[in-house]
Chains A and B, each alone.
Chain A
Amino acid sequence: MVDAFFQGAANIVRPEFLAVIAVGTLIGVIAGVLPTITGMVAAALLLPFVLGMPKEIAVLLLIGVLSTQETGGSITSILLNVPGTGLNAATLLDGFPMNQRGEGARAIGAALTSSVFGGVIAVGMALLMLPVVIPAVLAFHTGDMVLLILLGLCLLAIIVRGSAIKGMIAGLLGVMVAAIGFYVETGTDRFTWGSTYLYEGLGIIPVTVGLFGVSTLLGLLIEGMPTIARGPERTSIKAILVGAKDVWHHRWLWLRSTIIGYVVGVLPGAGGSVATFTAYAHAKQTSKHPELFGTGNVEGVIAPESANNAKDAGALLTTLVFGIPGSAQMVIIIAALYAVGVFPGPLMVTQQLDLTFTLLIGIAVANIIAVIYCLGAAPYLAKLAHTPMDFLFPVVLVLVFVGTFADQTTMTGVVTALIFGLLGLLMIMLEYNRAAFILGFVLGSLFEHNLWLALKLQGPLFFMSPISIALILIIILMFTLPLLRKAFTRHKGVKKV
């Protein structure tokens, strides 16, 4: 194993491999920055071109694209409140308010720093976990997945600000909306009204872009805001470094979020959104100032950004070892591996271990290169917050319309984004939490599908496994911990008196 590690590491420093990672990373970052054009779209388009390449180069190019899209996406989330990718939805909750205060550069600095270190450390965890990954993942059954997703849904109660009831309503509405479409398991049409677009269910891209991007844009214009930022311009390198220092100040939060992202990434089908929102909710629960979340708290940027980069290493490990995509992005990697004659599975940790190490280390290198690109562009991009709305509005609207059209090449996607934009505006006015809606939307269909599988495979007592019981205890703890903390603080106060 040590020999294979050194062979893998030696491969990475070859000029042609480094060049390929650099190119892939640039494409991934740009794809992430452009709203709705995600790394997955870019990688899928590159797939035909990589067929003729040597296997390491082909896969490293795609890894460069897919593992850095969230780094680029964090920039759009922070600056424009439009998630560059669906995985950056949690970042904008605090990233955009920071930008509005004139601290966009600081938020970007925090996002980039936590992304790069999260991605690199997660690769280290993946390398260490190689000997035990097979039994660890096999221990997780479908029933355990149901509880894990339920844990994710319970985060609704933690991430909402203001009225908890309104937050729950928003989240459950998201679950409801996710149910629209053709229910594959029994062949039932659910509120499609004969529309082929609705048959496949509403896409995450038009819903997220509409709910956050379009609604915020409309909201700013209705308020008559001349620019996005309400505070003075602070876009220097110094401001970015302040954000980087923030990560050091909150290093334990960053580490815990990285672990959360990595663990969720390892679990097949758990989804990156579970990682980012779990990390965000954990940050809020463990923060000394939870009331500041949603108003521009840098912890709310550090947590999801470290988690969303960390999940890639875990997802790649599962993909290589089991041949099962650890995340949606890994579907492209599997396709590429098969296309170049590499068959993921247990042989990847026996006969092709050096290739496995090359690919995992490639993620770490890609993350480092992505941050270099973004740091160079960040001070200029942060100035977007002070660009007059007259210029921003047409630019963002064009990107939203073209991007949502490109998602499924249909105008219905554009109309969907607009409808959800109006819904998002209504939610802002009536103080319903949009993040809760998105969380419910993303996890709802996942929860339903896994519940159906668990009931079929394991019966009604699917939650009786040790892992499921542990997850149930975590959920109970999640709700009781704040109450216990309150009671403890009160008791301490009484004692002092």
Chain B
Amino acid sequence: MRIKPGTYFLIFLMLLMLYIMGTALTWEAFEPKRILLLVGSAIFILATVELVRELRTKGRTPVAAETRLQEKAETKTKWRRFGLIMTWVLGFLLSIYLLGFLVSIPIFVFSYLKAHGRGWLVSVAFAAIMEAFTYVVFVRLLYIWLYKGLLFSL
């Protein structure tokens, strides 16, 4: 019996449905809990069926040690890339929260391009284009107020 990542997800889903249905049962009125109980139990049953299927599935056919090592290395690389990308994404989000959109956008675009080996001219030009586009389209044409950032709102 082999535990795959999907198995944990199914177990999590089942627990989540139990929590949702349990909470819904505490409500007085029936109408708001109707769809939650119906859909929650359907998901619970389907997840149980899929869980049983996954647990009964034999492990994959044995592979050569070399291939397994390669796969492990690829997985490690993917996790590393994921960590890097999320650092950029969360960093951008944090800078928007602190500095606002119009300050963060050129900083993010410039630093991302520079960090990925692009030249100064290209990085600056692209950052300027993105900033101009955002300002012209969203602020001037669409009159959308863009968040100014915590530091500039004090």
Given A176-B20, A430-B5: A398 touches B134 (CB 8 Å cut-off) = yes
Contact of A222 among B46, B47, B85, B116 (CB under 8 A): B85
| Chain A 335-358 interface mask (CB, 8 Å, partner B; 1/0) | 000000000000000000000000
Bound Cα distance from A188 to B28, whole angstroms: 9
Segment of A110-118, A389-397, A475-483 in the binding face: A389-397
Interface string of B72-99 (1 = CB under 8 A from A): 0000011001100100010011001100
Contact A394 B40, beta carbon cutoff 8 Å: no
Contact of B36 among A34, A176, A186, A222 (CB under 8 A): A176
Rounded to whole Å, the gap between the CB of B137 and the closest CB of chain A is 7
Cα distance A390–B110 in the bound complex, in angstroms: 11
The digit string for B126-153, where 1 denotes a CB below 8 A from any CB of A, is 1000100010011000111111000000
Bound complex: CA A414 to CA B92 (Å): 11
Question: Is the contact region of chain B dominated by helix, strand, or loop, or is it mixed?
Answer: helix
Residue of B nearest to A224 (CB): B81
> Which of B32, B35, B46, B78 is within 8 Å of A168, CB to CB?
B46
Number of interface residues of A (CB under 8 A): 51
Interface residues of B in 41-67 (CB under 8 A from A): 42-43, 46-47, 49-50, 53
Measured in the bound complex, the distance between the Cα atoms of B29 and A183 in whole Å is: 11
Q: Are A179 and B35 in contact (CB under 8 A)?
A: yes
Among B27, B92, B118, which residue has its beta carbon within 8 angstroms of that of A188? B27
Q: Which residue of A lies closest to B30 (CB)?
A: A186
Which chain B residues in 1-53 approach chain A with CB under 8 Å?
Answer: 5-6, 9, 13, 20, 23, 27, 29, 31-32, 34-36, 39-40, 42-43, 46-47, 49-50, 53
Cα–Cα distance between A401 and B97 once the two chains are bound (Å)? 12
| A382 CA / B13 CA spacing, docked (Å) | 39
Residues of B within 8 A of A395 (CB): 109, 130
B43 surroundings in chain A (CB, below 8 A): 169, 172-173, 176
- B23 neighbours in A (Cβ, 8 Å): 191
| Tally of B interface residues using CB under 8 Å | 52
Complex: A37 Cα to B130 Cα, angstroms: 16
Answer yes or no: A63 CB below 8 A from chain B CBs: no
Q: Are the C-beta atoms of A405 and B97 separated by less than 8 Å?
A: no
Say how far A24's CB is from chain B's closest CB, in angstroms: 15
Q: Considering the chains assembled together, what is the distance between the CA atoms of A190 and B23 in angstroms?
A: 9
Measured in the bound complex, the distance between the Cα atoms of B47 and A176 in whole Å is 14
Chain A positions within 8 Å of B34 at CB level: 448
The prevalent SS among residues of A at the interface is helix
B120 at the A interface (CB under 8 A) = no
User: Are A409 and B145 in touch, CB under 8 angstroms?
Assistant: yes
A175 to B143, CA, bound (A): 34
Q: Are B31 and A452 in contact (CB under 8 A)?
A: yes
Give the contacting residue for A406; candidates B5, B47, B108, B142; CB below 8 A. Answer: B142
Determine if B130 and A183 form an interchain contact, defined as CB atoms under 8 angstroms apart: no
Residue of A whose beta carbon sits closest to that of B17: A176
- How near does chain B come to A453, taking the closest CB pair, in angstroms? 11
Complex Cα gap A127–B82 (Å):
54
- Chain B residues within 8 Å of A166, by CB: 50
- A397 contacts B147, C-beta separation under 8 Å: no
Determine the distance from Cα of A188 to Cα of B31 in the docked complex, in whole angstroms.
Answer: 9
Which of B109-123 touch A at CB < 8 Å?
A: 109, 112-113, 116-118
A41 touches B93 (CB 8 A): no
Q: Which B residues are CB-close (under 8 A) to A179?
A: 35-36, 39
Which residues from chain B contact A426 at a C-beta distance below 8 Å? Answer: 9
**What are 28 A-to-B residue pairs whose CB atoms are below 8 Å?**
A37-B138, A41-B142, A163-B50, A172-B39, A172-B43, A175-B39, A176-B39, A186-B31, A190-B32, A191-B23, A223-B78, A224-B77, A224-B81, A390-B118, A394-B108, A394-B112, A395-B109, A398-B105, A398-B108, A398-B130, A402-B138, A402-B146, A405-B147, A406-B142, A411-B96, A418-B89, A430-B6, A431-B6
Q: A183-B32, A222-B81, A394-B112 are in contact. List 11 more A-B contacts (CB 8 A).
A: A169-B47, A173-B43, A185-B31, A190-B32, A190-B36, A390-B117, A394-B113, A409-B147, A444-B35, A444-B39, A448-B34
